[in-house]
Structure 1
Amino acid sequence: MQFSEIVGQHAVKQHLIQSVLENRVSHAQLFLSPEGSGGLPLALAYAQFISCQNRLPDDSCGECSSCRKYKKLIHPDLHFSYPFFAKHKDDTSLSFIEEWREAFLSNPYLSLDEWRSQVEAENKQANINIAECHQIIKKLSMKQFEAEYKVLIMWLPEYLDKAGNTLLKLIEEPPHKTLFLLVAQNQDQILNTILSRTQLVKVQRLSDKDITEYLVEKKGFSEEQAARIAYLSEGNLQTALTLSAEEGNNNFGVFSDWLRMCFSNKGMQVIDFAENAARFGRENQKNLLKYGIKLLRESMMVLSGAEHLVHLPGNEKEFVVNFSATLTMAKAESIINELEKAHYHIERNANPKILFLDVSLQFIKILKFNTLPLVGGTQHIYN
């Protein structure tokens, strides 16, 4: 991974490059990076730059033996640690290294949900366990094989829990030329004992401009399409990639028709819709619900008098403006709440036919009969 392959983050790249050129490489660094902003690829590009045998002024060469191994994630002095879904108490990250390489190489901006899908984790909890900590200590106690530095990149140290205290001495007094790069999303969930031993590198969310340029140049979208996706992605490139994959889908048509039939209380059409939606497949169902949430949030922008800030293509914006005339803020919030609950249950393998029928009935209550759910809501069972 080279710095040139990473979207945006020019200030952080320059800071990291200068730290190497000026020989100011801190042995333990925490990349605090919102999801989808590039903390993980930045950490890898930094490690590759440090290990490059023919380093350029502003990037690794990408061609030397070290860079070629880094590109495939097989350099003997590069180690990874990440949350995994243990099937046995002795499992470590090495038990999932092939899946990890495949997931990262296909998408360096991957989210935990995408990683979960990659390893078919079902309902297992993500964790970095004590066995993994002992494995890290063992790996880093060895001498370097080829490079000047041994590098450990730990993704999401938030999942260390108290097992992380096992690593404190190693982080504070590491073996010579050992580099810890921790990539986190939530500083509040990291052990304070680890935070105090690391140098903070703040990675900002990506700008809409950076994401727009990436989608135009790398994915072939028009400027208008890319700008709309960038706006909806809120600085998260992973979200932008998911939304860009939906461009070929008709989520707008499906969702707008769903709202219209609920507003008109067309019972048989609603039942047919629930049966059809049950056949979409889980990922398409989740994407439809997420799209609906974003569309309703745009409606709330219109209701709050900020129509000029709505970044949608003509037909979608026209629908949002017209539909908003039938809404209140309370109704919009209630619909969003129903969509978020539905998304939660779809992720947990709810019966989709029952779920979409139930959500439709909630929509009818809200849109047709102006009946809002009770505060706190009622319990829905979709099994």
Structure 2
Amino acid sequence: MQFKQIVGQAAIKQRLVNSINENRVSHAQLFLGPEGSGSLALAVAYAQYLCCLDKHDNDSCGECSSCRKYQKLMHPDLHFSYPFFAKHKDDTAVTFIEQWRDAFLANPYLGLDNWRGYLDAENKQANINIAECHQIIKKLSLKPFESDYKVLILWLPEYLDKEGNALLKIIEEPQPNTLFLLVAQNQDQILNTILSRTQLIKIPPVAYEEIKQHLIEEHHQTENAAAEIAYLCNGSLNEALFMLQQGSKSYHPLFVQWLRLCFGNKGIEVVGFVDQLSKMGRENQKNFIRYGISFLRECGLLLAGAGELVRLPAAELETAQKMAAILHLQSISAITAELEKAHYHVERNANPKIMFLDVSLQIVGFLKLKPTPQGDQYISR
């Protein structure tokens, strides 16, 4: 994995390159970023650059023997640890290394759900067990075999339970030229004893424009399709790629039609529309709701006089401006809250027909009765 293969994150890439070129490589680092931000890919690219035999100014060469092995995740001094679904108490990450290579090479932005799909997870809980901790200690106690550095990348240290304390000594006092890279999504779930021994590198979500350009250039999407996916994925390239696999759909006409039916309080037509939504399939329903939340947020920005922050294609912007004439900030806030609850219920397999009908009735009330906030509740006036 080379830095140039990672979408966006130019400032982070430069910081990582500078730390190596200026000989400021901390032996224990924590790459902290949301799913789909590229934090795992950045950790692998960083390790590859560190071990490259013919470094360029801002990236590894991609051609030397070290780079070729890194690109296949088969370098003898590169090790991985990650959550897995153990079938036996002695299982470690090495047991699943072939599946891990396949998963990462297919999608360097993968999340735990992607990883689960490569394993026979059944109903097991993912974790990093004590056997894996002992295996990490064993690996890092040895000198580098081929490179100047031995590197261990630990993905999702949140899944280290108290057994993770077994790693404290090796993290604090590693062998010379040993690099320990943790890649996490939730800082609050990491053992404090481990967190305090690492140098933190915060990875932001991928920028909207960078995702949009990537989808246009690498996945041959139209500008409108790329804009909508980039808009919905909230900075997660993993989510954007998943939405591509689901097939590009424009949720804008459908969502606006729903609001118009609710505003007109057209009961029979609303029921028919709800029946249509209930047959969309769970992932499309989630994306439809996410689009609605995002669209209403943009309408709210227009109402608040922050039109320069709105990120909508021209046609959708025109509709949002018209919708803003019949909406107000309180109703937007109330409808958004209902949609967020609906998204939660869709994820938990609620009956879609009942749920969408209930949300439709709530929207009718918010649009027609003009709710006024009272603490966390809304009342009509």
TM-score by length of 2: 0.84
Which consecutive residues of structure 2, in runs of 5 or more, have no partner in the other structure?
none
Query: CA separation in 1, counterparts of 2:349 and 2:118?
Result: 17
Alpha-carbon spacing, 1:20–1:371, altered in 2? closer, same or farther (3 Å): closer
Which consecutive residues of structure 1, in runs of 5 or more, have no partner in the other structure?
379-383
Counterpart amino acid of 1:154?
A: L
Query: CA separation in 2, counterparts of 1:377 and 1:160?
Result: 39
Tell me whether 1:272 sits opposite 2:272 in the alignment.
Answer: yes
Q: Which is worse superposed, 258-267 or 295-304?
A: 258-267
Tell me whether 1:250 sits opposite 2:241 in the alignment.
Answer: no
| Alignment map for 1:158-169 (pairs within 5 Å) | 158-169=158-169
Alpha-carbon spacing, 1:35–1:5, altered in 2? closer, same or farther (3 Å): same
Aligned to 1:181: 181
Q: Which is worse superposed, 17-26 or 348-357?
A: 17-26
User: What CA RMSD, in Å, does the superposition of the two structures yield over aligned residues?
Assistant: 3.3
How big is each residue's C-alpha offset from its partner over 1:192-246, in whole Å with a ceiling of 9 and x where there is no partner?
3222222233434444454444344333456676567656655443455456678
How much does 1:293 deviate? 0.8
Query: CA separation in 1, counterparts of 2:114 and 2:244?
Result: 16
Aligned to 2:219: 219
Residue 175 of structure 2 aligns to a residue whose secondary structure is: coil
Tell me whether 1:192 sits opposite 2:204 in the alignment.
Answer: no
How much does 1:33 deviate? 2.9
Query: CA separation in 1, counterparts of 2:375 and 2:101?
Result: 45
Q: Which is worse superposed, 213-222 or 282-291?
A: 213-222
Query: CA separation in 2, counterparts of 1:119 and 1:283?
Result: 22
- Checking the alignment, whether the CA contact within 8 Å between 2:330 and 2:371 is kept in structure 1 is no
Q: Which is worse superposed, 233-242 or 195-204?
A: 233-242
How much does 1:119 deviate? 5.1
- Checking the alignment, whether the CA contact within 8 Å between 1:49 and 1:60 is kept in structure 2 is yes
Aligned to 1:293: 293
Query: CA separation in 1, counterparts of 2:111 and 2:178?
Result: 27
Aligned to 2:171: 171
- Checking the alignment, whether the CA contact within 8 Å between 1:155 and 1:184 is kept in structure 2 is yes
Tell me whether 1:351 sits opposite 2:364 in the alignment.
Answer: no
Counterpart amino acid of 2:149?
A: Y
How much does 1:169 deviate? 0.7
How much does 1:337 deviate? 1.2
Alpha-carbon spacing, 1:376–1:208, altered in 2? closer, same or farther (3 Å): closer
Query: CA separation in 2, counterparts of 1:122 and 1:322?
Result: 49
Aligned to 2:28: 28
Alpha-carbon spacing, 1:39–1:361, altered in 2? closer, same or farther (3 Å): same
How much does 1:34 deviate? 4.1
Alpha-carbon spacing, 1:273–1:232, altered in 2? closer, same or farther (3 Å): closer
How much does 1:298 deviate? 0.8
Number of equivalences: 378
Residue 315 of structure 1 aligns to a residue whose secondary structure is: helix
- Checking the alignment, whether the CA contact within 8 Å between 1:6 and 1:42 is kept in structure 2 is yes
Alpha-carbon spacing, 1:15–1:319, altered in 2? closer, same or farther (3 Å): closer
Q: Which is worse superposed, 213-222 or 190-199?
A: 213-222
